[in-house]
Structure 1
Amino acid sequence: MTIALIGGTSLLESRRFQDAAPRRIQTPYGAVTLLEQDGLLFLQRHGLGTYLPPHLINHRANLSALHLAGVKKILAISSVGSLRREIPPGTFLVPNDFLAPWVNLSLFEDARGHQTPGFDAAWRQRLLNVWGQTDLPKPHDGGVYWQTRGPRFETPAEIRMFQSHAHVVGMTVASECILAADLKIPYAALCVVDNLANGLDDSPITFSAFKEQVKANEATLLLILETLLLSLAP
């Protein structure tokens, strides 16, 4: 396997992988079930059975399972809230940095943990180059992803503080990116803007409204993935 796709809320109920074959991987951090289809591995970060909210996801097990499966590159799909009105719901954004100084997980208990994480520049650029050669809606190139712990949404006061430093807010990508760097697996993210962050819209954020926008974005997201993976996967 060369490429693994990590899916989140945006692909939680998608039928895209309903016929995929399960592949159970035992890791030092617990067992993980991946889905395998057409030469692609798919990891649902929220689990395939009982839904795991962001603060309960076993990121060490998830990333270790991909490593043990022989994955060489990771493309992560992440549902996010926008911190800027000029990045409205329905936007697709490929971040180039993240802010999460409180996320300090590692696979190591020695000096190997002193690494510099980040989105892999070459892999990220490859994604953008392939995307640019299609007729798909073009993504927002660059931006800072701010990771919160979850599972709650953020307060308007928190959002006002985030706005000076980031473009989108989510709950998972930084954790995965840090561990991918531990394992030396190139990692890039495709963020799907499913809502304006709390306080930016006239109406308050509700989980039901959030899910409605996720559903509205799903068809476009699946078209983008189908098209890009044809060129990105060998």
Structure 2
Amino acid sequence: EQAASPGRGRLGLILGSAVGDLAALAAQDDVDVVVRVRHGDGVPAHLVDHAANCAALVDAGCDRVLALHSVGSLRADWPVGTVAAPDDFFAPWATPTTFDDVRGHRIPGVDATWHDAVVAAWQASTDHPIVTGGVYAQTTGPRFETRAEIRFLATVADVVGMTLASECTIAGELGLAYASISVVDNLANGIAATPLTMDEYAAGVAANRTLLADALPRLVTALT
């Protein structure tokens, strides 16, 4: 069971820490958007309070959320700079819930109607191509993955990160339609010919900032 597809509510936008300072670009005076920076003040990915973030959006009148993610690619043909809109996730070890009763017994997932609207808005906002599907694998963090772990994850997923599955699950429980735009900042450990370094990861994040800073205002406008 997915959250109800969006109707007349406000748009919620969740930004990762790498692009959190782009919030001002998204929150323009002429658009109705509620912006949350996922990690707050330096909170690592494995300690993000997804329930608090999603509840704040619900309290602000949102019925849908677009989440931006920084991801590692599990595919050599999805290089740094690839933009994808995942439509599924793999995270059997990530089972957060806001409920301790039967309400938590549900089928989570990206909202298909909202996902398609986000993809169409991205395509109308920028010439940068977007992959219109894919599977996001969520690991527990805070460390990055070993090469052996990446080989395993690459059999079931296309990108890897630490937040989407938990965030999507909680959003759905609270009635928020959920979709993601995930930007590849690095090739996951072992995908490239040489091992991933933290310097390479930081360089990928920086390279994608210009793309997001350019596309985000138009994207938000198209979705409100």
What is the TM-score normalised by the length of structure 2?
0.90
- Higher helix residue share: 2
Q: Does 1:216 align with 2:223?
A: no
The alpha-carbon deviation at position 134 of structure 1 amounts to 4.5
Q: Which has the higher contact order (CA 8 A, sep 6+)?
A: 2
Q: Does 1:40 align with 2:33?
A: yes
Q: Does 1:111 align with 2:102?
A: yes
Aligned with residue 24 of structure 2, among 11, 17, 22: 17
2:87 is matched with: 96
Aligned with residue 203 of structure 1, among 194, 205, 218: 194
* More deviation, 73-82/202-211: 202-211
The alpha-carbon deviation at position 130 of structure 1 amounts to 2.5
1:8 is matched with: 16
- Say if 2:26 and 2:216, in contact at 8 Å, map to a contact too: no
Distance between the aligned counterparts of 1:183 and 1:174, measured in 2? Answer: 14
Alignment of 1:27-106 (within 5 A): 38-47=31-40, 49=41, 51-106=42-97
- Say if 2:15 and 2:23, in contact at 8 Å, map to a contact too: no
CA deviation digits over 1:52-105, x for unaligned, max 9? 111111111111111111111100000000000111110000001000111111
Distance between the aligned counterparts of 2:24 and 2:219, measured in 1? Answer: 16
Alignment of 1:95-174 (within 5 A): 95-174=86-165
1:230 is matched with: 221
Q: Percent identity?
A: 43
* More deviation, 78-87/3-12: 3-12
Q: How many residues align?
A: 216
The SS at the match of 1:75 is strand
- Say if 1:115 and 1:181, in contact at 8 Å, map to a contact too: no
- Say if 1:10 and 1:192, in contact at 8 Å, map to a contact too: no
Distance between the aligned counterparts of 1:37 and 1:148, measured in 2? Answer: 38
- Say if 2:12 and 2:33, in contact at 8 Å, map to a contact too: yes
Aligned residues: CA RMSD: 2.0
Q: Give structure 2 stretches of 5+ with no counterpart.
A: 1-8
What is the TM-score normalised by the length of structure 1?
0.86
The alpha-carbon deviation at position 177 of structure 1 amounts to 0.3
Check 1:62–1:15 CA distance in 2 against 1; reply closer, same or farther (3 A cut).
closer
- Higher strand residue share: 1
Check 1:37–1:11 CA distance in 2 against 1; reply closer, same or farther (3 A cut).
farther
